Structure 1
């Protein structure tokens, strides 16, 4: 494979491989988070790829970080999933992803914290995201149509557990909501950074 791709264009990259577990550990700790790569895939050295079968295992790197709740599916009084965002360098709240379904306990606790968007000041935007959420934003293959949701005042910080597959300013997969962070201001949440910058600045796990 290396010989075949020796003269390939730069955008066609050969996936690195190793049988050294220390090298794998270094990739997971120092490389996958910064590069926004999900993790590593392992297979037996003698294993073969066969149609319709997966003879390999995937280990995803995960991070604990924060995001701002900008909307919910369901209703504010009974949220089903969270729509999350982060401020960019210009102070705009940008959509960054969606959570897995909430538990009944999480729904009840969040219902006490969430509120509808406040009436905007003259000349200001009531809410920074369109209604419904464009299908190209949500990125869910099982739902190609726009996503209706309830907008909320973006004042609540959520602690989330996410894998590090982060591209075009969004988490590629749904994140897991852990808890609200009333001790944090929305301005304490990491900024949404540009391509090539570490979007997390948090510990891996």
Structure 2
């Protein structure tokens, strides 16, 4: 038997892959004590219906976004970067996540979107 502990948590959508009108995944962050949005992980690929629902809640970010000028890698420790669009960090989502984290507090697995 395989046991996979999971929990739910809230995170803020700070960027997306795909188009603003049809996001593929959400890149998630949490605010740290300094007030900056810190990247913590991304969702698994959004289903088409979910993508359409989420798109209606997103807007492009301004130049003062915490992640402006940052490069987000495709995988943990990887050099290949994601092509992302920054969004205004207003959308709070509840995600189901694997409980494992790296030493920086980032989730080691993709987060699953829960509605």
Q: Segments of 4+ in structure 1 off by > 6 A?
A: none
**CA 1:146–1:131 in structure 2 vs 1: closer, same or farther (change >3 Å)?**
farther
Alignment of 1:127 with 2:62, yes or no, is no
Give the conservation status (yes or no) of the 8 Å contact 1:166–1:172: yes
Q: What residue number does 1:163 align with?
A: 98
Q: What is the root-mean-square deviation in Å for CA atoms of aligned residues?
A: 1.9
Q: Number of paired residues? A: 114
TM-score normalized by the length of structure 1: 0.52
Where does the alignment leave 5 or more consecutive residues of structure 2 unmatched? none
Q: Aligned residue for 1:38?
A: none
Answer yes or no: is the 8 Å Cα contact 1:138–1:147 preserved in 2: no
Instruction: Tell me the TM-score normalized by structure 2.
Output: 0.89
Structure label with greater radius of gyration = 1
User: Larger relative contact order (C-alpha < 8 A, sep ≥ 6)?
Assistant: 2
Confirm or deny that 1:151 pairs with 2:89: no
User: Which structure is higher in helix share?
Assistant: 1
Query: C-alpha distance in 1, partners of 2:98/2:56?
Result: 28
